[in-house]
Structure 1
Amino acid sequence: MMKKETFKFYCDECCKDSLFTRVKIDEEITVKDLTFINSHYYDKCEECGELFEPFEDYDMNYLSDYELYCKKKGMLSYKEIKNIRELYELSQRDFAKLLAVSHATLSRIEKGEIPSEQHDVLFKLSSDPYSFLNNIVKTRGSLLKSDVLEKLNLRLKILISASYEEHRKEFDEFSRKLNDKAYDLMIRLNKIEYTQSLQLNEKKSQDNDKEDDKLKWNQTSFLKKVGLFQ
């Protein structure tokens, strides 16, 4: 939770309560193999000008850096990984058992540590309830207590059903749009066909008129020649 823009707090430099202001500074930082710009927040003492990490959360800036790093690398962030576990209503220890990672590793990742590429693949595999059930729970579920596994299976059935319903609605919407486009295309094709038919009929009519004119001219010319038409 962010503090108000201006507040009082004890300053270690001034050795007394001082007035602080929350400031935002864009800084270039390097995380592993990436260098990028990220916005950091600091609490600035108005008397000595010293900058402190946010008092209510000293980890705010580096966690923000790690989260942005994961986004740029296409990896799941610590927040997303924790949300996946909580979606299945599993403890860290049980989730770690299913994924074949240590409880300590999962705990560090959920606190902000950047996962390895192998762990990231596991978490992404777990993010889909159907995939989690068939690729992980069915093969490693026996490691859990029977009541935990039963609760998890029921939870996954509910999530999968909800997911399919969501997919069905999405498919129905896609089908509706596709039908609308097909109908619009059919109207356009009919219009093109009708226009071409009119143009063809008009051309035939013009060609017939020319033939009639030519015939009339020949007849008139012949009649003139034989003296039957003056």
Structure 2
Amino acid sequence: MAGGASGSLRRGRRRFGLLAALLACGGLLLAGWFAGFLWFVGKLPGEVAEPLRRTDAIVVLTGGSGRVRRGLDLLADKRAAKLFVSGVYRGVDVAELLRVSQRAPEELSCCVALGHEAETTHGNAIETARWVRDNGFTSLRLVTAAYHMPRSMLEFRRLMPGVEIVPHPVFPEHVKQNDWWRWPGSTYLLLGEYTKYLVAVVRVAVTPVPADSDS
């Protein structure tokens, strides 16, 4: 009986040790993930670094408030000669986009192009790279939300290494970037974007660059 009790005790200790090791590893991974999240939030742009710089084109990624209107403002201010809006709903044309944005069609319609194929940030980069290549552009100003900029720049730089990309962040009012921990909605959004960013980093690291990307 004593031997059986001793064996059970040893097995119990081994199981406890294994569980403790797994918990410790999980804790380290969680701590690393959260430290990375704090780094990610801290690196988000807080202002437009080069607001007056001119580029060949302006590219707007749909999906958030204020992006298209800001892109049209930049085009009207002659920050570039052309504007490309990526990820537009199928069936929406330039005239409709300008009407919704409260712009007169005759003012800017000649200089706006739309992309209807993209449904993800990776898709935005693919269809923008094709448009940039077809037009022979070598620089662009990228307009998207500040929290979305790191992932967008990662995707765009990968597919357009020979193109100079100037980030132009937009700051949606509903995203409390500076004190996100006080706002559950902002916390949830930033955590989700950080996770998507990590997934994009891994995918970029393990998949080859498409053969038809800019070089």
Superposition TM-score tier, normalisation by shorter sequence: under 0.3
Hey, which of these two has a bigger chunk of helix by percent?
A: 1
Q: Which has the higher contact order (CA 8 A, sep 6+)?
A: 2
Q: TM (normalized to structure 2)?
A: 0.23
Please say which structure displays the higher CA radius of gyration: 1
User: TM-score scaled to structure 1, two decimals?
Assistant: 0.22
